[in-house]
Amino acid sequence: MTKTTTACVMLPAERLDLFNAERLARRPELDLHFIPYSDPPEVRQARKLRQLTPALAARCPVLSPRDEAALARAEIAIARDLPLDLGRRAPRLRWVQAVGAGIEQLDPPGLAELGITLTNASGVAAAPIAEFVMAQLLAIWKELRLIDQQQRDKVWRRTQTALVAGKTLGIVGLGAIGRATATRARAFQMHVLGTARRATAGQQDPDVDELFPLAELDRMLTRCDAVLASMPATPDTAGYFDAARFAAFKPGAIFCNVSRGAIVDEPALLAALDAGRPARAVLDVTAVEPNPPESPLWHHPSVHLSPHSSTSMEGYGERLVELFLDNLARWQAGEPLRNVVDPGLGY
């Protein structure tokens, strides 16, 4: 007889269909419960920064008695956010499958102390994010913003645009997103440089043309026409791109951040943009989200700002379910899971 495992899918009400309920309902080994749960943005931001106050904690959603009972039985949770006081409310919980690559708000060290394994969804959004990065770079080099404005202004003037082939892209963080972007950049005949935490001098990597140890990052930056930040947000990477880092940029370069806003010193970036190193910044993330109305990022002429628009929901649910079901089979067989988060590293 198949052992039944209780699992809770905890997502915003409008996102509960992200998981294919009909497909999962056909799994006899799953006692599946869909619980609408989503922390307010300011609560999620505070939990990411470990700055949750009692006043903010009071704004966390309240579960119904039925949902509390399901959570108390759950061995698995699939979630973007989790309720507070998880040890008391979910004493049987042993595995959390995050629905995204970013997991700071889930408190990996805290889950580890409770004996709970955390896996992220790294790779699920890699293709659409890489496409977004290339679209933004192409839009800048091909002056699409100016051309669009000229159409609205009824100006018929030929615009000089740049050749993408032969340009150099530097990728800081060779995870799934970095590698997916490298593949697409090479298709445009770009020269791709990369660096990663574990890279060593002289090491080669099949996805990039040249690999640099992290200690040589500034040397790499001097050669790049565009720099992609696709590294994880951890205590070690907070403010990683600061004034000194931007000073190493090639004049006229583009800086693109699809990681987390916390890795960028935003005042330093704005000053660097005014100096032309970099000349443009593509920011799909900001230090505080939603980006405050008073933020100068909104109106700086060299900033291309978007609210986490790089991830496409088209096909996301299917890829997420595939990852979850693969990990479920591994979990039931006692095999290592994919995308296990190291609580010490934060990714």
Q: Which residues contact 274 (CB under 8 A, 6 or more apart)?
A: none
Task: Look up 308 and say whether it is catalytic.
Answer: yes
Confidence of residue 279 (pLDDT cuts 50, 70, 90): very high
Q: How far apart are CA 286 and CA 305, in angstroms?
A: 9
Q: Is 239 exposed, middle or buried (0-12, 13-18, 19+ CB in 10 A)?
A: middle
- For helices 176-187 and 126-141, angle between their N-to-C axes, nearest 10 degrees: 40
Over residues 30-42, the mean pLDDT reads: 91
pLDDT reading at 2 higher than 80: no
Q: Which of 308, 319, 330, 338 is catalytic?
A: 308
Cα separation of 77 and 214, whole Å? 35
Between the alpha carbon of residue 305 and those of residues 16, 145, 258, 297, 314, the distances in Å are 28, 13, 11, 7, 22
Q: Is 89 a catalytic residue?
A: no
pLDDT tens per residue across span 80-118:
999 999 999 999 999 999 999 889 999 999 999 999 999
Instruction: Give me 7's structure tokens.
Output: 């699992």
What's the pTM value of the predicted model, to 2 decimals?
0.90
Query: CATH class for domain 126-305?
Result: alpha beta
How far apart CA 36 and CA 284 sit, in angstroms, is: 26
Three-state secondary structure call for residue 1 = coil
- Mean pLDDT for 230-256 is 95
CB 195 within 8 A of CB 222: no
The answer on pLDDT for 6 being more than 50 is yes
Which residues, other chains included, contact 134 with Cβ-Cβ below 8 Å and sequence gap of 6+? Answer: 181, 184, 185, 188
Domains of the chain, by residue range, sit at 5-123+313-333, 126-305
The amino acid present at 49, given as its one-letter code, is L
Tokens 């609210």, residue located: 307
Q: Is the separation of the CB atoms in 310 and 284 below 8 Å?
A: yes
Residue with tokens 């294919």: 20
Helix axes 144-152, 126-141, angle to 10 degrees: 60
Average pLDDT score over the chain? 94
Q: What is the pLDDT of residue 344?
A: 86
**SS3 at position 246:** helix
Instruction: Answer yes or no: are the C-beta atoms of 165 and 190 closer than 8 Å.
Output: yes
From the list 179, 260, 277, 280, the catalytic residue is 260
* Encoded tokens for 148: 């669009």
Catalytic hit among 15, 289, 304, 319: 289
CATH assignment, 5-123+313-333: 3.40.50.720
Q: What is the pLDDT of residues 211-242, one digit of tens each?
A: 999 999 999 999 999 999 999 888 889 999 99
66 catalytic, yes or no? no
State the Cα–Cα distance between residues 346 and 104, nearest whole angstrom.
Answer: 7
Please give the structure tokens belonging to residue 193: 């440089």
Q: What pLDDT does 25 receive?
A: 65
Are 5-123+313-333 and 126-305 the same fold in CATH?
A: yes
Q: Which of 141, 132, 129, 135 is nearest to 280 (CA)?
A: 141
Confidence (pLDDT) at 1: 47
Between 198 and 173, name the one with better pLDDT: 173
